[in-house]
Amino acid sequence: MTTADRYAVAGNPVEHSRSPLIHARFAEQTGQAVDYGRLLCPLDDFKAHIQAFAASGAKGCNVTVPFKFEAFELATRRTPRAELAQAANTLRFDAQADGGWLADNTDGIGLVRDITRNAGVPLAGRRVLLLGAGGASAGVLGPLIEARPAEIVMANRTLEKAKAIVDRHAEWAARHGVQLSARSLQDPGEGFDVFINGTAASLAGSGVPVGAQVLKPGTLALDMMYGPAAQAFLDWARAHGATPRDGLGMLVEQAAEAFALWRGVQPDTQPVLAHMRALVDAAQPH
């Protein structure tokens, strides 16, 4: 009898996470023996919880708020994109003899794939506005740069935070020919091709914290959230002639990349995204 390899999403809170559903679909589709659950970690005891999970024979985990920075610190090896983000959403519990735990960050590649493949919007040569300078926005900037837009503006309420992240990515941006700058919410620029909201402003219920001049007709306006948390942003974008998109595609794509890192098999995201879309739509108030 073969037993399934165990994985989980670690966070606090974590009961709302849809990752177990997504990974169960990937496992079914690819014929992989994977058992993926939820791991609620105490806010002050992430390390011991993860170590106990690994010691019990688990193979890896995804990591969500607020532990992505701690997860990055726990690993002995880090992918270049995790290194740029200084945060990890994926750990693979490799044995010491194989180099030890590997930390990756698949959020950025998930976002880029959702924009370029699922939404069919090219990033190369385009102008991109990335709102926010917290973990969510910092986590995606490296892969966004790799997609070689002409320009990326990172705008944040606290300008200094955006500046620090932009400085950290300056060499990466120069290497890829991307003009990268940090700006305030009062002066973010205008008429972007792609506008990505990585702030917690929607959750705070405080509306979109920049003016509609950042949009032009047909701008892809993407909020990294989905469900009710994204609704105000999506309505605002639609009302100003932009093409709204929520973070569900990014969620499924980042999961697929984590699955591939663990299992060596790339799942087909399309049927899983369609399934998740139906679930989220059914849960929305009408």
Q: Which stretch binds ligand ATR (CB under 6 A): 31-39, 188-196, 198-206, 213-221?
A: 198-206
Residue 249 CB coordination number (10 Å): 23
Residue closer to ligand ATR by CB (options 161, 176) is: 161
3-state SS assignment for residue 62: strand
How far is it, in rounded angstroms, from Cα 173 to Cα 121? 21
How far is it, in rounded angstroms, from Cα 235 to Cα 2? 49
> Cβ of residue 200: shortest distance to ligand ATR, in angstroms?
4
The catalytic position among 47, 59, 68, 161 is: 68
Residue 132 binding ligand ATR, by CB under 6 A: yes
Residue closer to ligand ATR by CB (options 125, 207) is: 207
For 70, residues 6+ apart whose C-beta sits below 8 A from its C-beta are: 46, 47
Give the residue closest to ligand ATR by C-beta: 134
Kindly state the number of chain residues that form the binding site for ligand ATR, as judged by CB under 6 A.
Answer: 16
How far is it, in rounded angstroms, from Cα 121 to Cα 192? 13
Residue 130 binding ligand ATR, by CB under 6 A: no
Residue closer to ligand ATR by CB (options 34, 253) is: 253
Q: Which stretch binds ligand ATR (CB under 6 A): 71-79, 157-165, 243-251, 262-270?
A: 157-165
Q: Which one of residues 88, 133, 145, 252 is an interface residue with ligand ATR (CB under 6 A)?
A: 133
163 is catalytic: no
* Beta bridge mates, 243: 220
Residue 209 binding ligand ATR, by CB under 6 A: yes
Residue 65 binding ligand ATR, by CB under 6 A: yes
Residue closer to ligand ATR by CB (options 93, 226) is: 226
Residue closer to ligand ATR by CB (options 198, 267) is: 198
How far is it, in rounded angstroms, from Cα 208 to Cα 129? 13
> Cβ of residue 230: shortest distance to ligand ATR, in angstroms?
14
For 22, residues 6+ apart whose C-beta sits below 8 A from its C-beta are: 251, 252, 255, 272, 276
How far is it, in rounded angstroms, from Cα 249 to Cα 277? 9
Residue 183, CA distances (Å) to 129, 175, 186 in order:
10, 21, 8
> What residue ranges bind ligand ATR (CB under 6 A)?
65, 132-136, 156-158, 161, 199-201, 204, 206, 209
